[in-house]
Structure 1
């Protein structure tokens, strides 16, 4: 009985710690169209997000990631690297200039 209890306790601790490291965050990302959506979501996933969904009406992305594998900062930085301004990083002009014409949003 003690072995069963010990195994169950260990399994529960491992599952709780695995769940605790998963984070979900939502933040603003500039963009316009379906092409933007694909690039923004791909960049987030390339940075380690396990799930990324950009809402073109709200101009927000919701990302899910494991804190031990990546960070919100790394995801935001990668999105800016492909040309899209977000809450923390502004895309370099060279990256923004490479965007397709329909993807060029109004910059502040």
Structure 2
């Protein structure tokens, strides 16, 4: 009986000291056109620490849930830009963008008129 009490006490103590990861959900704009873009964007966003990543083709809104201790919104957006898709904060490298399939070439803001950072991926 004492063994069971000690075991229960140990389990309770372990559970009370465990720290839950800080999960966060954020949404931001990502430019693209089609189902191929959706697959590329969502795949790029699935970094270590990303729990879920969904891009809506119609609204161009990306929603990501991630563990704040492993990644952040800027890192996710930079990774998406690295595969050719501009985000609200980061502009894809022109050479990477130009290699996208024709159906994926979305209308871009000019680099000089944009407040996006130009990534060198």
TM-score range with shorter-chain normalisation? 0.7 to 0.9
**Richer in helix (by share):** 1
Moved beyond 6 Å, runs of 4+: none
1:77-106 deviations in whole A, cap 9, x for unaligned?
Answer: 000000000011010101100110000000
Computing the radius of gyration over CA atoms, which structure comes out larger, 1 or 2?
2
> Please, what is the CA RMSD of the aligned residues?
1.9
- 8 Å contact kept, 2:48–2:70: no
Q: Give, in whole Å, the separation in 1 of the partners of 2:102 and 2:95.
A: 14
Structure 1, unpaired ranges of 5+: none
Q: Which residue number in structure 2 is paired with residue 53 of structure 1?
A: 54
What are the ranges of 5 or more consecutive residues in structure 2 without an aligned counterpart?
110-121
Q: State the aligned residue count.
A: 105
Question: 2 CA distance for matches of 1:51 and 1:41?
Answer: 9
Are the aligned partners of 1:47 and 1:74 in contact in 2 as well (CA < 8 Å)? Answer: no
In 2, Cα distance between equivalents of 1:44 and 1:82 = 10
Whether 1:66 and 2:70 are equivalent positions in the alignment is: no
- State the Cα deviation string for residues 15-37 of structure 1 (Å, max 9, x = none): xx325x11111100000000000
